[in-house]
Chains A and B, each alone.
Chain A
Amino acid sequence: MATLPEEIKAAMQGVIPSHVVTCARDGTPNATAISQVYWVDPEHVALSHQFFNKTVRNVRENPRALAWLINPQTFDAWDLEIEFDHAETSGPIFDALDMQIEAIASLVGLKGVFKLKSADIYRVISVTKNVAERIPLPDIVEPGGER
């Protein structure tokens, strides 16, 4: 087990899509982009399960997975080895994800269509930060001083 640093939260807000790699029982790999990896606690993350897809199927057969996250401010990348633990269909994590999906779904005409089936909870096995190469930039004005 590994502990997630606070710093990784910046990469978990879904600004840049994350990627998840899983394997079917027969070893066939699958990589997919997902909108967000959610922080649960320092040892767990959650992925949303809205549709039955290869990721959902694979981790139920073969729980090990790799998540790749990017901090949208620094472009530092994070590799997370994770392992599917269990699916939650109620409780605070489920509610938080469900609420967010409901809010966005209503904005694109998918109210009631696009629903959270479960919050899939993964244990974090390891976490590695890959610092992005910093290319010195000319002085630029920091955009958006206001919030």
Chain B
Amino acid sequence: MGADHSDTQPLREQIAQNQHTIDRLNRELARRSNEVRIIQQISQEITSTLDLDEVLGIVLLAMERVLGFAHSMILLTDASAERLRLAASRGYEPSGVGAEVAFGDGVIGVVASRRKMMRVGNLGASVAYLRGVRARLEAAGQMTGGGESAVLPGLRDAQSQLALPLLVKDRLVGVLVVESARPTAFDELDEILLGIVGNQAATAIDNARTYRMVESLSRLKRFFSPQLAEAIVTGGADDPLKTHRREVTVVFLDLRGFTAFAGSADPEEVMGVLREYHAEMGKLILEHEGTLERFTGDGMMIFFNDPVQVDDPAERAVRMAVAMRDQVTTLIGRWRKRGHDLGLGVGIAQGYATIGAIGFEGRWDYGAIGNVTNLAARLCGEAQPGQILLSARVASEVEALVETEDMGALTLKGFARSIPAFNLLRLK
């Protein structure tokens, strides 16, 4: 744009051209400002629910009804934070829900790994171009084999894609994608509009996921330490609720004389004793990193080495049992003063059990099944007040740590042969 006067003609044309563009954009904006109003309405709707599926549905419905994008998908990050999973879609048959995309694969995967929006209007041409490059490389012997071509959910013949990372602060929640079989279907304004909805959606999705997680967590914390409960909720490869077999040390305990006590004392008194007892036992279970499988009235079943694997399950079980006996002795002293005659019996066994979620939809429990749990329960049943009975396997594991007394072979219900048992006297 020099000072030369002969330049003024192109300059005028340029200005006219720019004005034309501005007018066009203004017209677009007028049309879109209505959409922005509707978007505000959508964002209110999105934030009014904590149900994840509802949130996803509202966002995708808005993509079609308000913005006119017929094909849209929401993919959410999984626990590994290296893959996305298709959580909801609109305008696809079949829906493709559940399909996975690795970070770095295709437009969606790259948007996830880079956390930046991407708009492509020439997928067909780009892919054809790179296929040609690949063929030339192969022909020239510069490429042997090459990697796998990523296969992604979505339209087979997509020409245009606009993908937006769903971010809450700097954390990636997922990716929102709209696509079309038409080339250059999306423009800069679409980027802006999608960005507005996307921001709202990211927060709403994150809130709904957190809510869902907190709900599951509160249930799981019954059994597990907070860290472990979180691991279960976020899922992942070693989900402890998946059925598996593992060697565990199982501790059964109950209060001798409890049934008689519960029958004669008034209910408030019974609940008070139980509360004291559970509180103290609970502390010791956490301290020794045991897993409380269940408690029924005065009885408890605790095991070691699952879901947290430990080097010394038998030692932990024994140390916990001794600590419990000491603690209950103090409690019993108090209870005696109030006229209740109670004593603790404990049985400990070690062996393989099948562990995982047991139950049915709506009522799942985490449990262990195997001979080892039966043996621990039977030993507990045989124990006199204040006794801790060990199976031979446990006794040999902790030989160096404790003094025991050979109880001989016991005849136990459910066991064909008599079972040797050892009474744990004290820690060495």
| A binding-site residues for B, Cβ under 8 Å | 1-3, 5-7, 10, 13-17, 35-36, 72-73, 95-96, 99-100, 102-114, 144, 146-147
Given contacts A106-B106, A110-B147, 14 further A-B contacts (CB under 8 A): A2-B1, A3-B14, A7-B17, A15-B122, A99-B110, A102-B104, A103-B118, A104-B127, A105-B130, A107-B127, A108-B134, A113-B143, A114-B134, A147-B178
Give the distance in Å from the alpha carbon of A98 to the alpha carbon of B275 in the complex: 63
From A2, A7, A13, A110, contact of B134 by CB (8 A): A110
Q: Is A110 a contact of B133 with CB atoms below 8 Å?
A: yes
Q: Is A72 a contact of B18 with CB atoms below 8 Å?
A: no
Give the distance in Å from the alpha carbon of A72 to the alpha carbon of B133 in the complex: 23
Interface size of B by CB at 8 A reads 50
Q: List residues of chain A with CB within 8 A of the CB of B178.
A: 147
Q: Is B110 a contact of A102 with CB atoms below 8 Å?
A: yes
Q: Is A146 a contact of B106 with CB atoms below 8 Å?
A: no
How many A-B residue pairs have C-beta atoms within 8 angstroms? Tell me.
123
Given known contacts A13-B183, A144-B181, A147-B69, is B17 in contact with A107 (CB within 8 Å)?
A: no
B222 lies within 8 A of chain A by Cβ: no
B367 lies within 8 A of chain A by Cβ: no
Interface SS of chain A: loop
Give the distance in Å from the alpha carbon of A96 to the alpha carbon of B131 in the complex: 21
Residues of B132-177 whose CB lies within 8 A of A: 133-134, 137, 143, 146-150, 152, 159-160
13 intermolecular pairs with C-beta atoms under 8 Å apart: A7-B20, A10-B184, A15-B121, A72-B184, A104-B120, A104-B126, A106-B150, A107-B130, A109-B147, A144-B180, A144-B182, A146-B180, A147-B180
Q: Is B104 a contact of A109 with CB atoms below 8 Å?
A: no
Q: Is A113 a contact of B126 with CB atoms below 8 Å?
A: no
Q: Is B184 a contact of A13 with CB atoms below 8 Å?
A: yes
Q: Is B14 a contact of A5 with CB atoms below 8 Å?
A: yes
Q: Is B146 a contact of A109 with CB atoms below 8 Å?
A: yes
Q: Is B143 a contact of A14 with CB atoms below 8 Å?
A: no
Q: Is A147 a contact of B186 with CB atoms below 8 Å?
A: yes
Q: Is B134 a contact of A109 with CB atoms below 8 Å?
A: yes
B116 lies within 8 A of chain A by Cβ: yes
Residue of B nearest to A129 (CB): B17
